[in-house]
Chain A
Amino acid sequence: MNTYTEPERRAFALGQAVGLGFIQPLSLMRPGSVGRILTVSGSSVSDRDVERGLLEMGFVEGACVEVLHHGFWRRDPLAVRINQTMTVALRRCEASAVLVGPLLDSAMSATSASNRERDPS
């Protein structure tokens, strides 16, 4: 007798995970941190065009992201590397529409690649 819809269940699960600190919006990630996109858009950004814009620039569920830089004033905007190929600048406000979780096993190659880069030895 489950009365919850699928999106509601998912939101609930997400809320639990955020509470545990595994999941955070892209806007709060520090330079150098990596993760995998869980959801794009939803509640925080009402504008559907932002969601589409983010999707078109490669912020899609499942993509690996790495925050490279913050702007010099108020740490805005952010420069984010997507899937090790394309770097995109976006503002904190839009970045909050992207929820990022940890990189798990399948993404080890991406993490190790960026680690290798940071530490050439």
Chain B
Amino acid sequence: MTTGVLTAENARRVQIALVGPPNCGKTTLFNTLTGGRQKTANYPGVTVERKSGRLRTPVGHTVELLDLPGSYSLRARSPDEAITRDVVLGRQAQEGLPDAVVCVTDATNLGQHLRLLLELRQLGRPLILALNMMDIAEKRGCQISIETLSRQLGIPVVTTVAMRKNGVQDLLGEIDVLLNQTPVTTGTATTDDWQEPSADTIRAYHQEVERLLREAVIQEAAPERLTRQLDRVVLHPVVGPLILLGILFLMFQAVFSWAEAPMDWIDAGMVSLQQWLAAHMEESLLKSLVVDGIIAGIGGVVIFLPQILILFLFILLLEDFGYMARAAFLMDRLMSAVGLNGRAFIPLLSSFACAIPGIMAARTIAHPLDRLVTILIAPLMTCSARLPVYVLLIAAFIPNTAVWGGIGLQGLVMFGLYATGIVGALAVAGVLRLTLLRGDRQPLLMELPSYKWPNPANVLLGLWERAKIFMRRIGTIILSVLIVLWFLSTFPAPPAGATEPAIYYSFAGMIGRGLEPLLAPIGFNWQIAIALVPGLAAREVAVAALGTVYALSGDEGAVTEALSVTLAQSWTLATALSLLAWYVFAPQCLATLAAVRRETNSWRWATFMFVYLMVLAYVAAFVTYRVALALGGG
């Protein structure tokens, strides 16, 4: 074998880590280098995603490329950055020391980005510097002597244009040279005694960067103008917030209107699958489990995939474009009033589709307390799973009349439910910051990257990732919960000559009837109490469960319609309003609790969230019920 030094000595694959500051185009470079051959997993214990991909160098080495989270310094400030540090230092137990590190920098911002390279060079490990976005730098008149830079640094330096396939040939060639020359592992001596750089060390790095640039830069790049000019509008004290509002409006409009058609297709697909199975399977428990338990339940969750994807399409586009940091800038002062960071805006925004991706997006928040508060309030954002319940109850109880200015009363109530969630979340954040999670106000130090056109391949890969994560969750947690719930609501079977629907006699029915006295003060009857038990898995399942309790049959659309009529007859307005208030707060989503446990790495916070949301829901429903009764809503 020509590549003997490496592969023969070392049975494991050569591993190279990509390290770079945020916004240096590292992910685009990673995508170009590995194409679609990527794998995402999680690091054990923490929940930072481990992104790796495979590439073949021109000489024929197979390399596993690790895309590490963007980091300004090895002095990690967030859980994401800690992973970068630990992998580079070989402290990530499961990973081992990478054979080489490629440090990616933005060629237009070397003054700031080279410092990370100096930190990495200090470790004495095989290192390559990639000057990325060289095309943009050159367009702006920048000239850099690669030879000088390479000589001064004592490491190979290449220029890359991540957007173009042939823009990475130099880097691949340099990786080959490196792999052929040096023994793969050079011992771990230097990385063991690594210490966080002190302020003076950082100052010294800055001076070294300045010296390097004086030597190597022949012609400086002209300052970028477009970003400044756009920012003059986007960050304008009056126009800026209006633009943000406009974008949010467009986004929600898209989430709810564009998603309608694909959601109908999924719904129709699931229903016909259910019918086909119902017709072709033999009458048995298995059939009941598959048709009523699994397919119906999964259909109820998969249906939100289009909304989640559309929301993420917007988020990824805005992120790639560079707008998200601006949104955080605009929102920071408002959010810091309740002790949150402007960066919490993005996770909270995602939570309107589903709290789970929102909770995962909180990883980008550096400070643990800030991050925890954001995670704890994320479920208060009205996720799309509440919509079916809202729609059902509003249609049944709120008259479709116009109040002032032709605004429909139904739409107004819907808006009120959203607003209650947001206000509740901010209030909870404020209270948590003043009591349980007291701590210093954390600094906001955030780069506002230059605007650039989103890269379609990046966005599509990102969407694909989100879809995979969502579907994986359905296949694991949600599926197992559904099976348990099916069991609870099927056994024991109703006695002969039963007068009530079968679910009444099941374990779920027993639990529901047991809960009834507890729920009576907030106006819930035993039908609601029973429906809330399967509704624990996912909120919208409660609609189907209510249909079962009221012994309605037919396909989903017919059930919902009939249910609306039945409910309007059998519930009081006060009960309906109370249930709506309950739904704003109640933690009826086991998948969210599981996500919180994973992200905080403890059941403590998941339990805390469950309890505080329950208490809030109960109090809100109680107050709503009593007030509505007093106002004659009984």
How far is B108's CA from A83's CA once the two chains are assembled, in angstroms? 12
Residue contact B199 to A87, C-beta cutoff 8 Å: no
Min distance, Cβ A89 to any Cβ of chain B, angstroms = 5
- Prevailing SS type, chain A contact patch: mixed
How far is B206's CA from A52's CA once the two chains are assembled, in angstroms? 12
Stretch at the interface among B41-49, B237-245, B387-395, B598-606: B237-245
How far is B225's CA from A68's CA once the two chains are assembled, in angstroms? 13
Contacts of B221 in A (CB 8 A): 85
Contacts of A52 in B (CB 8 A): 75, 197-199, 202
Residue contact A56 to B202, C-beta cutoff 8 Å: yes
Contacts of B317 in A (CB 8 A): none
How far is B140's CA from A113's CA once the two chains are assembled, in angstroms? 14
Interface membership of A14, Cβ < 8 A: no
Contacts of B238 in A (CB 8 A): 72
B residues 420-465 near A (Cβ < 8 Å) are 440-441, 443-449
Interface-centre pick from B223, B330, B445 (highest chain A CB count, 10 A): B445
Residue contact A77 to B199, C-beta cutoff 8 Å: no
How far is B328's CA from A47's CA once the two chains are assembled, in angstroms? 24
Residue contact A57 to B115, C-beta cutoff 8 Å: no
A residues 30-68 near B (Cβ < 8 Å) are 41, 47-48, 50-58, 60-61, 68
26 A–B pairs (Cβ distance < 8 Å), ordered by A: A47-B440, A48-B199, A50-B443, A53-B445, A55-B199, A57-B112, A57-B447, A60-B206, A69-B235, A69-B236, A69-B237, A72-B241, A72-B333, A73-B333, A74-B333, A79-B235, A83-B112, A85-B108, A85-B223, A86-B111, A86-B112, A88-B448, A89-B332, A90-B446, A91-B443, A94-B444
How far is B330's CA from A61's CA once the two chains are assembled, in angstroms? 28
How far is B108's CA from A84's CA once the two chains are assembled, in angstroms? 11
The residue on A at minimum CB distance from B222 is: A113
How far is B75's CA from A57's CA once the two chains are assembled, in angstroms? 12
Residues in chain B within 8 A of chain A (CB atoms) = 72-73, 75, 77, 108-109, 111-112, 115, 197-199, 202-203, 206, 221, 223, 225, 227-228, 231-232, 235-238, 240-241, 325, 328-330, 332-334, 336, 342, 440-441, 443-449
Min distance, Cβ B207 to any Cβ of chain A, angstroms = 9
Residue contact B111 to A83, C-beta cutoff 8 Å: yes
A73-B448 contact given A47-B440, A50-B443, CB 8 Å threshold: no
Residue contact B330 to A85, C-beta cutoff 8 Å: no
Contacts of A50 in B (CB 8 A): 443
Contacts of A88 in B (CB 8 A): 445-448
Min distance, Cβ A119 to any Cβ of chain B, angstroms = 13
Residue contact A72 to B237, C-beta cutoff 8 Å: yes
Q: 9 closest Cβ contacts across the A-B interface?
A: A72-B237, A87-B448, A69-B235, A55-B202, A84-B223, A73-B333, A60-B206, A94-B443, A89-B329
Min distance, Cβ B143 to any Cβ of chain A, angstroms = 16
Min distance, Cβ B110 to any Cβ of chain A, angstroms = 8
**Binary B-proximity of A81-114 (CB < 8 A = 1, otherwise 0):** 1111111111101100000000000000000011
Contacts of B325 in A (CB 8 A): 89
The residue on B at minimum CB distance from A82 is: B112
Contacts of A57 in B (CB 8 A): 72, 112, 445, 447
Min distance, Cβ B85 to any Cβ of chain A, angstroms = 13
Contacts of A56 in B (CB 8 A): 72-73, 75, 115, 202, 445
A91-B336 contact given A51-B199, A52-B75, A82-B112, CB 8 Å threshold: yes
Contacts of A72 in B (CB 8 A): 237-238, 240-241, 330, 333
How far is B237's CA from A54's CA once the two chains are assembled, in angstroms? 25
How far is B444's CA from A105's CA once the two chains are assembled, in angstroms? 32
How far is B106's CA from A58's CA once the two chains are assembled, in angstroms? 15
Residue contact A90 to B445, C-beta cutoff 8 Å: yes
Residue contact B443 to A90, C-beta cutoff 8 Å: yes
The residue on A at minimum CB distance from B242 is: A72
Contacts of A79 in B (CB 8 A): 231, 235, 329, 448
Residue contact A91 to B228, C-beta cutoff 8 Å: no
Residue contact B333 to A77, C-beta cutoff 8 Å: yes
How far is B223's CA from A114's CA once the two chains are assembled, in angstroms? 9
Contacts of A76 in B (CB 8 A): 332-333
Point out the residue from A60, A89, A90, A117 that lies within 8 Å of B228, measured CB to CB: A117
Known: A55-B199, A84-B223, A89-B445. 17 other contacts (CB 8 A): A41-B199, A47-B440, A53-B77, A55-B206, A56-B73, A56-B115, A57-B445, A69-B236, A72-B333, A86-B112, A87-B227, A87-B448, A88-B445, A88-B446, A89-B325, A90-B445, A94-B443
